[in-house]
Amino acid sequence: MTTQSLMTSLSTLSPHRENRLQLTQQVIENGDIENLFAICLKVESPYHTKAWWILEWVLASDREYLLTYGPLIVRKMTLIKEESALRPMVKILCSWTKSQIKNDAIAIPQQDMDTMIESGFDWLITDVQVAIKVHAMEMLSLIMKWNDWIIHPLADVLSKGIQEHSPAYKARASKILKKIKKQI
């Protein structure tokens, strides 16, 4: 599948699960992950958000894909501003972080973690969708094991946010605050 034919498929893609799953399978079968990732990064494209929807599912389908594209996403994540694209991107980063944590060792370079920490806090304190905030706080809670300096700032941000946000935010923040209290 060429980039153009992939963009055509994305242009007609509806948000229905069956349609997204079908295009996900097509991308995997045709080995079009690089083309899909390139479309994700074309923020001027009207299809880049839909490309992120599909990339999330493609990377979830195979740990090797996640390990390959996780670092690339971190290095390009500051390009993504649209919330409909941010949600799957942050979810991918959270999944990548989880996949990298093994037996008290983490394979994410410190420079990438620093970028993720900075962006994670930005998403928590700015006005973005709750789903983005929830995945960001989860990602930060995983990273804090190796960057313990974020424990107190994260606890402060989450404690303040609990008073202002939705039940979904409150539930995840409460869970993470309990985890933080165990570490303090």
Residues 81-128 pLDDT 10s: 999 999 999 999 999 998 887 656 668 889 999 999 999 999 999 999
Same domain, 90 and 10: no
- What pLDDT is stored for residue 103 in this prediction? 55
Report yes or no on 154 lying in a domain: yes
Q: What share of the chain is helix, strand, coil (3-state, %, to 5)?
A: 80, 0, 20
Same domain, 98 and 30: no
Same domain, 96 and 152: yes
Highest mean pLDDT, choosing among 64-68, 95-99, 130-134, 141-145: 130-134
- What pLDDT is stored for residue 116 in this prediction? 97
Same domain, 133 and 174: yes
pTM: 0.92
Report yes or no on 66 lying in a domain: no
- What pLDDT is stored for residue 183 in this prediction? 82
C-beta of residue 56 within 8 angstroms of C-beta of residue 73? no
Token pair recorded at residue 64: 């090797």
Of 30, 61, 92, which closes a domain? 61
Average pLDDT (3-21) is: 92
Task: Name the DSSP class of 62.
Answer: -
Same domain, 87 and 55: no
Same domain, 98 and 177: yes
Q: What percent of the chain has a predicted confidence (pLDDT) above 70?
A: 97
Whats the size of the chain, residue-wise?
Answer: 184
Report yes or no on 67 lying in a domain: no
- What pLDDT is stored for residue 105 in this prediction? 62
Same domain, 181 and 94: yes
- What pLDDT is stored for residue 12 in this prediction? 94
Number of domains present in the structure of the chain? 2
Report yes or no on 73 lying in a domain: no
Same domain, 124 and 161: yes
Weakest-pLDDT range from 10-19, 96-105, 144-153 = 96-105
Mean residue pLDDT of the chain comes to 93
Same domain, 8 and 55: yes
Same domain, 51 and 122: no
- How many Å apart are CA 131 and CA 120, to the nearest integer? 12
Same domain, 46 and 129: no
Domain encompassing residue 91: 82-184
For the cut 80, the answer to whether the pLDDT of residue 45 exceeds it is yes
Report yes or no on 151 lying in a domain: yes
Same domain, 94 and 26: no
Report yes or no on 76 lying in a domain: no
- How many Å apart are CA 58 and CA 55, to the nearest integer? 5
Average pLDDT (170-175) is: 96
- What pLDDT is stored for residue 67 in this prediction? 87
Report yes or no on 74 lying in a domain: no
Task: Name the DSSP class of 101.
Answer: E
Residue 101 phi, psi (nearest 5) = -85, 120
